[in-house]
Amino acid sequence: MSLSFDIELATHYKSNSQRVRVMSEQWVADNVYCPCCGNSHLRKLKNNTPVSDFVCEKCQKIFELKSKCQHIGTKIAGSAYSKMIERITSATNPELLVLQYSKDYNVQNLVFVPSFFFTPDVIERRPPLSKTARRAGWIGSNILYKNIPQQGKISLITDGLMANIDNTTKAYNHIKKLHVSNIDSRSWILDVLNCINSLRTDDFYLSDVYQYTNYLSQKHPQNLHIEAKVRQQLQVLRDKRFIVFLGNGRYRKVSHSLILS
């Protein structure tokens, strides 16, 4: 597998964003397998297909590609804000591939984010474009990559090394248990999962999660029974094998190695 973009593909483009788009999309089509089913390649869709860049012809999953130079960072530029919100609240939101490349156009990291890890809190509304802009008043968005739980970021390539296909699909099949169509229910389970992830130790107590009550109240002001909701989400995460209940209000995070074993 080559980790280098084919620079010759971009010789006829003046815009750097166009050059990167052409090179990165071709590289994915030539080198990347489907992280959902393990199919050996993804087929590139026609240019200008709305929010869709690739399809797996085996499982029919649709993928969108976002590429960034140097560092993925905390935010990734998205499309129009209204369209992004419409997408994540529908059943047609594509899976996301986040590709990081170097200044000399070599692939360094590639991360797969399943569509069911997107909630409205992951989408940031950008200020409208100025009146003098070509698209005056247009409101864009950012994908708040930092708000996506770590379980929803499956590494396909890390520092130039491709992950084992079987491990990738096994990890996906595990986190697929978190798939919830209802956006409010999805937000709750991912919010509590983020709270657990932020705890420094693998073993924790119910009281440790209760420390996030104010934070969760601000995110879900319509809910007047936050602690009861937290207990409910812990039960869900336990049943789906993301945490283990040890008794007496004590829990343990399930490690990535145990998931793949």
Q: Kindly compute the dihedral angle of the four CA atoms of residues 181, 184, 186, 190, in this order, to the nearest 10 degrees.
A: 170
> Three-state SS for 207?
helix
- Please indicate, yes or no, whether residues 62 and 159 belong to a single structural domain of this protein: yes
Distance CA 159, CA 162 (A): 9
The CA R_g of the chain, rounded to the nearest whole Å, is: 20
The predicted model scores a pTM of 0.92
What pLDDT is stored for residue 260 in this prediction?
53
- Please indicate, yes or no, whether residues 159 and 187 belong to a single structural domain of this protein: no
CA angle centred on 175, ends 150 and 206, rounded to 5°: 65
Q: How many domains is the chain built from?
A: 2
Kindly report, residue by residue over 197-233, the tens digit of the pLDDT: 999 999 999 999 999 999 999 999 999 999 999 999 9
Q: Is residue 170 part of a domain?
A: no
Q: Is residue 208 part of a domain?
A: yes
- Please indicate, yes or no, whether residues 97 and 69 belong to a single structural domain of this protein: yes
Please, is 168 exposed, middle or buried when counting C-beta atoms within 10 Å of its C-beta (0-12, 13-18, 19+)? buried
Task: Tell me the pLDDT band of 139, cut-offs 50, 70 and 90.
Answer: very high
Kindly report, residue by residue over 29-68, the tens digit of the pLDDT: 999 999 999 999 999 998 766 667 999 999 999 999 999 9
Q: Is residue 113 part of a domain?
A: yes
- Please indicate, yes or no, whether residues 153 and 206 belong to a single structural domain of this protein: no
Q: Is residue 223 part of a domain?
A: yes
> Three-state SS for 19?
helix
Residue 250 belongs to domain with CATH number: 1.10.10.10
What pLDDT is stored for residue 138 in this prediction?
93
Q: What stretch of H or E contains 228?
A: helix 226-239
Mean of pLDDT over the chain:
93
Going by C-alpha positions, the residue among 55, 65, 60 that lies closest to residue 96 is 65
- Please indicate, yes or no, whether residues 90 and 190 belong to a single structural domain of this protein: no
What pLDDT is stored for residue 189 in this prediction?
97
pLDDT above 90 covers what percent of the chain?
81
Range of the domain at 158: 7-73+86-122+144-163
| Domain final residue, candidates 130, 163, 196 | 163
